[in-house]
Amino acid sequence: MYARSTTIQADPQQLDAGIAVVRDEVMPAMATMPGYVGLSMLCDRMSGRCIVTTSWDSEESMHASESAVHDLRRRAADAMGGAQPEVAEWEIAMMHRMHGAHDGCVTRVVWGESDPARADDSMQTMRMAVLPKMEELPGFCAMSLFVDRESGRSAMVTAYDSREQMQEATDRAMEIRRESTSAMDVRVTDMAEFELVMHHLRVPEMA
């Protein structure tokens, strides 16, 4: 399974208009494309930072969709008053859900970089050592791991049932992150929290 993420730095005042375009125009159009699996959208209403992620059944399907997606991406960015979108492509290395996402869920995304040669070992550590600890956190809903094997970049997305529970879990989550990044020699490059405004990624369990 593969994913393409599109990050838009939107005008916070135009977020709702942009969300409507993604929901009513972009998502139905994407659903007609071969290999499309689903879509999610994360938003930080304070900063205006938004990430729209589409999932695909193969790398070939993802690449074949690029020309058709280009105009949809531009339409969504324009609706949000955003600048040129930033696009990244990923392999979905892990997807685990305690239960399905729902309205009101929030996410914390941690981006990192590591030695590409250690990718398989790092993913094994995530599955065997990190995930069981994350499942114990208050409000834990789901966790996914996106990787770029060539560059060593990664994005770990943890979803919680509510913002209150995510904040309650912060100290323990930071402890787990310090332990795991040290063990896997991962350098954290960014971290952000978002509202999960669309939860239709539909990637099967891959833990």
The architecture in CATH of the region 2-200 reads: 2-Layer Sandwich (3.30)
What are 180-207's pLDDT values in tens digits?
888 888 999 999 999 999 999 999 888 6
Q: What is the average pLDDT across 5-13? A: 95
DSSP assignment letter at 176: H
Mean pLDDT of 134-143: 96
DSSP H or E segment with residue 158:
strand 153-160
Q: What percent of the chain has pLDDT over 90?
A: 81
Distance of alpha carbon 157 from alpha carbon 189, whole angstroms: 14
SS3 175: helix
